[in-house]
Amino acid sequence: MKKDFLSLLELSSVDVTNLLKRALDLKTGVDADARPLSGGSIGMLFEKPSTRTRISFEVGIYQLGGQPIYMNPSELQLGRGESLRDTAGILSRYLRGIVIRTSSHTTLETFAAGASIPVINGLSDLHHPCQALADLMTIQENKNRLKDLKVAFIGDGNNVCNSLIEAAALMEFNLDIACPEGFEPDAGILENARASAKSEIIILRDPREAAGMADVIYTDVWVSMGQEKNADEKKRKLSDYQVNSRLLACAKKDVTVLHCLPAHRGEEITAEVMDGPHSVIFDQAENRLHTQKALLELLIR
C-alpha cells in the first residue's frame, strides 16, 4: 500500500527517529553508493518558484540513482483543463513518486486521492513537512536530543510554524510561539497537536518571553510567497518580532538559531545574528538534502 507524506503526522515518532538516523548516516557517507531509485523516475510538480526544495530533491533523487522530472503545471494538460485526478492517475503509470509544491493544500489531497504512487508535500499553504524534517535533524545535530528542549518560534504563524507544531507534538519538545494577535498558526493543527502532545505548545505575544531560556530560536519571513497583499501593514505589525542580538540575550548562552530561508536580512532577522556564532541556518538548508533522501528511501518501494 502506498504511503504519502502530506504532513508530518503521516509518520510516527519511531518513523521520524529512524529517518533522522538514516539522514545522519547519509550525511556522513554511510551507504553512499546505495541506489534504491535506480531505473526509476520521480516527478516534481511545482506551482511555485523554489531554490532549496527543488535543488535538494533533484540532487537527492539523482544521488539515489533516480531521474528527477521537473514539471510546470502550465506546461501540462492541466493548463488545458485536464483534472487533477486524471493527471494523478496518468503520472502514476510513469513515475515511482511525485513531489508537489503548491499554493493550496487541497490540491495535494486531491492529487494524492487519484494517485497510486507516493505523493510528497514539497510545500503547501498549510504545511511544510520536508522543512520540519530538516529542522529536527539540525536541532538533533546541535543539541544531541529533541525531547524536552525549548524551541521558540518568533513571527508569523505560517505553514512552517504549523509543521513545527506537529514536530513538537511528535518528538516531545516544548514550543513557544510568539506572534501578534491575528497571526496565530492554524487553529485546527494547534488543537490536534495539543490533544496528543506530551510537551507544551504555547502561544505568546511577547517575543522576549518566548525566547527566555530557549535552546533554539526559529524565525521565518514575515510575508510568505503569494501573500504579498498588504505586505507593508503586515511588516509593521511584526516589527517587534525581529530576531536580533537583544532577543538572543534572553535565551540560553548556547542557543541555536534557525531560519528556513530565504531570509530578508534586517526584517525578521538581523545580518549580525544570521551570520553569527549561534546560527546554523546553512547547515539547516543542507540538511534538506539528507532528510529528503531518507524520506524517499522510506516511501519509494
Q: What is the arrangement of strands in the sheet containing 97-101, beginning at the earlier edge strand?
A: 67-71, 41-46, 97-101, 119-123
Q: What is the spatial distance between Cα 232 and Cα 238, in angstroms, rounded to a whole number?
A: 10
- Give the pLDDT of residue 229: 75
Output the pLDDT for position 65.
Answer: 97
Domain 8-128+288-299 listed as CATH 3.60.15.10:
no
Pairing of strands 119-123, 97-101: parallel
- Catalytic residue list: 101, 128, 131, 220, 260, 288
Q: What is the pLDDT of residues 254-291, one digit of tens each?
A: 999 999 999 999 999 999 999 999 999 999 999 999 99
pLDDT at 143: 98
Residue 108: C-alpha distances to residues 99, 102, 112, 186, 292 (Å): 10, 7, 6, 18, 18
Same fold, 8-128+288-299 and 130-284: yes
Q: Is the pLDDT assigned to residue 223 strictly greater than 80?
A: yes
Mean pLDDT of the chain: 96
Integer Cα distance of 261 and 281 in angstroms: 8
Confidence class of residue 118 from pLDDT cuts 50, 70 and 90?
very high
pLDDT over threshold 90, residue 226: no
Q: Which residues contact 21 (CB under 8 A, 6 or more apart)?
A: none
For the chain, which residues make up each domain, given as ranges?
Answer: 8-128+288-299, 130-284
According to DSSP, the β-strands at 150-154 and 216-219 are parallel
pLDDT interval class at 79 (50, 70, 90):
confident
Query: Per CATH, which fold does 130-284 belong to?
Result: Rossmann fold (3.40.50)
Q: Which whole number is the average pLDDT over 218-229? A: 85
Residue 1: the pLDDT is: 83
Query: Closest Cα to residue 243, out of 259, 224, 223, 229?
Result: 259
CB contact at 8 A, 293 and 63: yes
141-159 residue pLDDT tens: 999 999 999 999 999 999 9
**pLDDT tens profile 175-197:** 999 999 999 999 999 999 999 99
Residue 233 has what pLDDT?
Answer: 93
Q: pTM of the predicted model, to two decimals? A: 0.97
63-91: average pLDDT: 94
